[in-house]
C-alpha cells in the first residue's frame, strides 16, 4: 500500500515513480541506488534505452519558480550525465540510452521544453561522443501522472494506492460568492435546514449552511484534483454519487432520512467502493454530496 498525503515531498515522489516504473518494465528496469558513491544523473534506466530521473520541488511555488527549478535540475543532472563517463559506461553496459527523462508531478512550461532541446544538443555534441548514448538521444521532461497513467490506474483500481486530495483554502468570500451566484440552490438549502429541530435558531441555521457550503466547495476541488491526477478515482466517485442520488429520490419518500445518517452512510459507501480514496477526503466528499443533494432535492430529510 502506497499512502499519499495531500502534499508529496521529493523522496515520496521518487519512491512512487520508481514503483510505477517497476510495474511497467519489471526486470527490464535497473535501479541505480545513490546511497553509495552518489548518483550520476540517473536514478534508473530501462533495457530499451530510457534513463529516468524523478524530481518534485518542495513546497508550494508559482509556475515561473517551478519552471526555474525544473531547468536547474535538468542542468545539474545532465552535467553529471556527461561528466561521469567511465562510471555510466560501466553502469549501462551494452544498453545505449535514447531518452533521458525527468519525471515531475507538473510539467507546466514550454521554457522547460526549450531547455531540454538545448541539453539534447549538448549531449549529442560532446567530443569525443559519449559511448552510452544513441545518435537520436533526446532529453525530455514529462508529467508523471500522464506518463504513468496506466500504471497509476492499475494501482488505484486494486486499492494499492491511498490518496488524499490536495487541501484547498475556502474563505468566507468564496461561500458568499457561491451563494450569490446560485441563489436558488442556497435558498433551497436554507429552507430544508430550517425545518430541522436542531436548526430552528436562525443563527445556528446560517452557520450550518456556511459549513455545508464550505464542504461542498472543498468537495468540488477534491474531484478536480482527482480528475487531473487520478481519473479512475474521480470516475468511481461520480458513479457512486449518481447511483446514490437516484436511490435517495425513492428513499426520501418512503423513509425518515436524516442528514447525519445519510452522510455517515455515504462516507462508508465511498470508502468501501473506492479503496484508493483517502479517508479524510471521503469525509469531505460525503458532506459535499449531502449539501448537493439538499440543494438539488434528491434528499428530503424528515428530521
> Across the strands, what pairs with 53?
102
Query: Tens of pLDDT along 175-191?
Result: 999 999 999 999 999 99
Q: Please give the DSSP secondary-structure letter assigned to residue 118.
A: H
pLDDT of 286 higher than 80 = yes
pLDDT at 10: 80
Alpha-carbon span 87 to 296, nearest angstrom: 64
Distance, first Cα to last Cα, the chain:
40
Alpha-carbon span 268 to 282, nearest angstrom: 8
% pLDDT > 70, the chain = 95
Q: Is the dihedral of CA 13, 143, 61, 1 positive or negative?
A: negative
Q: Going from the N-terminus, what domains does the chain have, and what CATH number goes with each?
A: 2-151 (3.40.91), 167-296 (no CATH)
Query: Tens of pLDDT along 73-121?
Result: 999 999 999 999 999 999 999 999 999 999 999 998 999 999 999 999 9
Interval 234-263 mean pLDDT: 93
E strands of the chain, at which residues?
2-4, 29-31, 44-46, 50-54, 97-104, 133-143, 161-163
pLDDT at 36: 47
Q: What does pTM read for this prediction?
A: 0.82
pLDDT at 7: 61
CA dihedral of 79, 80, 82, 88, whole degrees rounded to 10 = -170
pLDDT at 6: 54
Amino acid at each position: 500500500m502506497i499512502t499519499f498525503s495531500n502534499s508529496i515531498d521529493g523522496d515520496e515522489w521518487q519512491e512512487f515513480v520508481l514503483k510505477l516504473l517497476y510495474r511497467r518494465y519489471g526486470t527490464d528496469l535497473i535501479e541505480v541506488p545513490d546511497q553509495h558513491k552518489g548518483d550520476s544523473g540517473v536514478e534508473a534506466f530501462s533495457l530499451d534505452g530510457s534513463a529516468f530521473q524523478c524530481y518534485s520541488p518542495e513546497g508550494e511555488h508559482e509556475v515561473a519558480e517551478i519552471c526555474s527549478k525544473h531547468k536547474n535540475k535538468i542542468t545539474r543532472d545532465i552535467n553529471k550525465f556527461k561528466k561521469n563517463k567511465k562510471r555510466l559506461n560501466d553502469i549501462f553496459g551494452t544498453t545505449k540510452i535514447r531518452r533521458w527523462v525527468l519525471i515531475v508531478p507538473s510539467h507546466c512550461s514550454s521554457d522547460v521544453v526549450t531547455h531540454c532541446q538545448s541539453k539534447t544538443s549538448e549531449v549529442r555534441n560532446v567530443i569525443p561522443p559519449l559511448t552510452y548514448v544513441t545518435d537520436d538521444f533526446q532529453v525530455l521532461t514529462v508529467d508523471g501522472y500522464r506518463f504513468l497513467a496506466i500504471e497509476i490506474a492499475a494501482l488505484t483500481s486494486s486499492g494499492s494506492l491511498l490518496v488524499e486530495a490536495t487541501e484547498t483554502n475556502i474563505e468566507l468570500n468564496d461561500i458568499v460568492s457561491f451563494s450569490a451566484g446560485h441563489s436558488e440552490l442556497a435558498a433551497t438549502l436554507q429552507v430544508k435546514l430550517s425545518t430541522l429541530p436542531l436548526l430552528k435558531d436562525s443563527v445556528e441555521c446560517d452557520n450550518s449552511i456556511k459549513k455545508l457550503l464550505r464542504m461542498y466547495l472543498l468537495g468540488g476541488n477534491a474531484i478536480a484534483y482527482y480528475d487531473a491526477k487520478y481519473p479512475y478515482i474521480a470516475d468511481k466517485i461520480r458513479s457512486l454519487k449518481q447511483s446514490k442520488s437516484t436511490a435517495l429520490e425513492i428513499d426520501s419518500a418512503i423513509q425518515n432520512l436524516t442528514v447525519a445518517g445519510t452522510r455517515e452512510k455515504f462516507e462508508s459507501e465511498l470508502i468501501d467502493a473506492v479503496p484508493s480514496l483517502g479517508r479524510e477526503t471521503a469525509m469531505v466528499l460525503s458532506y459535499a454530496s449531502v449539501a448537493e443533494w439538499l440543494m438539488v432535492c434528491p434528499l428530503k430529510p424528515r428530521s
